[in-house]
Structure 1
Amino acid sequence: MQEQSDHPLTPGLTARLEMTVTDADTAQAVGSGDVPVLGTPRVLALAEAATVAATARQLPAGSTTVGTRVELRHLAPTPVGRTVTAQARLTSVDRRRLVFTVTVTEGDQEVAAGEVERVLVDRHRFVERAGQTS
């Protein structure tokens, strides 16, 4: 059961980001493999950036979101020089928990797909707690 919240984040928010693959984005460069194609960590970073962009204008003052869970299938290689597009759609809001579906495409080809979960937090409190040592 989804619970209503007092923040303006509602399912349906979307964002789309593009990136042209460079040598710095390859699996070789980021240490996730030894081939000169778009590395999975960069695919994930682009997908997460799209989720952040989807909610950026709707966040309550002093709030931000942080990633808590990712499920991503990297389905096809993308060579240097090609452009990929990440699309994120907010599909579920349960109090502070936000779930997004994400896809990354190159033209008509699906490069990656999955789900990203983020949580709405008070930015100041989060940074303060992160700086504390245990």
Structure 2
Amino acid sequence: METASVTHTVTDDDTARALGSGDLEVLATPRALAWCEQATCAALKLDPAQTSVGTRVDLEHLAASPVGTEVTATATVVHTDGRLVRFQVAAHDTGGTLLATGEIRRVIVDRERFLARITPVGD
């Protein structure tokens, strides 16, 4: 199974207050999710003509992380079905505390075909 991890340190820009998902100076759930999604993308080995798009997210944010906390998000491929890829994701701090856990689904697409179907706003 393919696995990848990304590590970030929580900054003021990553907090619930900064992202508008609350008013506390702790890691925002949207940022925790973004880091988990970054790990899913890193776990995929795609050719340059391909990319992936997120289609479903189920994430439990279990513990608060103040500014300065180092967080590692890990994604492991747990199932593939054609172009669909399911990942188990987890985020931990350096002390081993489980901060978030869940599943993310992505679909592999042809980059040019996908973009050709998008109509720019204002057209």
Give TM-score scaled by structure 1 length.
0.87
Unpaired stretches in structure 2, ≥5 consecutive residues = none
Matches within 5 A, 1:1-134: 12-55=1-44, 58-107=45-94, 108-131=96-119
Structure 1 segments (4+ residues) deviating >2 Å: 131-134
Secondary structure (helix, strand or coil) at the match of 1:131 reads coil
Offset of residue 131 of structure 1: 2.7
What is the identity percentage for the equivalent residue pairs of Structure 1 and Structure 2? Answer: 49
Unpaired stretches in structure 1, ≥5 consecutive residues = 1-11
Offset of residue 132 of structure 1: 5.7
Please report the RMSD computed on the Cα atoms of aligned residues, expressed in angstroms. 1.3
Deviations 1:28-53 (A, max 9, x none): 00000010000000000000000000
Deviations 1:44-99 (A, max 9, x none): 000000000001xx213411110000000000000001100000001100000000
- Give the total of aligned pairs: 121
Secondary structure (helix, strand or coil) at the match of 2:63 reads coil
